[in-house]
Amino acid sequence: MSKKIQAIRGMHDILPDRIPTWHRLEDTARRVLEGYGYSEIRTPVVEVTDLFKRSIGEVTDIVEKEMYTFPDRNDDSLSLRPEGTASCVRAAIEHGLLMQPQRLWYRGPMFRYERPQRGRYRQFHQIGVEVFGLEGPDIDLELMLMTARLWRALGLEGFRLEINSLGDAEERAAYRAELIAYLEARIDQLDEDSRKRLHSNPLRVLDSKHPQTREVVADAPSLLDHLGETSRAHLDHIRAGLERAGVDYQLNPRLVRGLDYYNRTVFEWITDELGAQGTVCAGGRYDGLVAQLGGRPTTAVGFAMGIERLVELLELGGAQNDPGIDAYLVALGERAQQEAPVLAERLRDALPELRLLVHAGGGSFKSQFKRADKSGARYALILGEDEAERGVVGVKALREQVEQRELDFTALTELLAGTPA
């Protein structure tokens, strides 16, 4: 017997019983985002590797360790996208979208070669938002209020919003020098990765998960003390807006995010329900990235949320997977089996939203009825030789104690029109 082939480690099939929860999340997100005037964009999953090296930064775990990179037949270096922002910026520059402000959103798979664990996969999915050409803190605030609305629409609670400001380039440079001096004096207490980053990307040390390094970082200088008047006013506007809107938040001076392109605002929505992988949505402002990738200087801000983590939260909260079937049509006898597909098409014409499953493959009445019940449908529609002759359909409620009835086509459509969508 041939050895069976299995999915790649860290890349998972999403089976039919879980798809309704994915649909609920994706459809709710689309409604909320479009309600704020955001337009969807779809980009390729494969890009030239240089796009991510120039945007994310070469001295990052993503570029150094985690990207799926390979040469194509022309010996060009290509990579599966590890995140969505760089692709969105590339597309906006390439297609001339930046002549006016843009509010864009996307969804799709991302790829990183990481050690698979709960909430962290090698193929994972994100919903993201990118806004171009709007400079003020009001748009940063809108993103946070919009995500808060999404949590309410999904019925999710218990998130913690953490925010920080990374300031402008000059402010970070002054802080960087002070931080390096502080860490150099304690270099023996840092983990290996933090020692490597000490001079190339010292702000990433603030984001270390290593227990001893975190103790060192706890007493490090704060970037907030280096903010100039403009950066501080930007942050204060966001904080005041969150307070007026009744959205709780925490100011976290150690929050830096893992990518090189951020400036000023950074934020994360965090849950304690998923263990170590508690960040479900994160983002911030990246005003220099468009110019860095060859476009004209354009302000930008955005976020991305992990679909797998949000789906797990919905399931932990008791999300019920809708079986997706309103009615199951059973047919017995030669004429009934010939009439069943025609009846089904008439019902679909009359009720475009109807979810109707027609039995196929033959079988006894008992076996067909068993499949109808197993399908999760609310009604079994029964078409036998006698019903076909008289132009009626038997209707048996499968989820409540109601006596079986016979209905003509008009009455049947009226009944099914009241079936919850």
Query: pLDDT by residue (tens digit) across 346-400?
Result: 999 999 989 999 998 888 888 988 898 888 889 999 999 988 889 999 999 988 8
Cβ neighbours of residue 49 under 8 Å, at least 6 residues apart? 67, 69, 77, 78, 79
- Who wins on pLDDT, 98 or 225? 98
Helix (H), strand (E) at residue 413: helix 409-417
User: What type of residue sits at position 377?
Assistant: A
Q: What is the pLDDT of residues 260-316, one digit of tens each?
A: 678 889 999 999 888 777 899 999 999 989 999 999 999 999 999 999 999 999 998
Taking only the tens place, the pLDDT of each residue in 61-87 is 666 678 899 999 999 999 999 999 999
**What is d(CA 142, CA 175) in angstroms, rounded to the nearest whole number?**
28
The backbone torsions φ and ψ at residue 159, rounded to the nearest 5 degrees and listed phi first, read -80, 150
pLDDT of amino acid 321? 61
The DSSP bridge partners found for residue 358 are 329
pTM of the model: 0.85
More confident residue, 238 or 60: 238
The string of DSSP letters for 345-394 reads HHHHHH-TT--EEE--S---HHHHHHHHHHTT-SEEEEE-HHHHHHT-EE
CB within 8 A of 153, min separation 6: which ones?
28, 31, 32
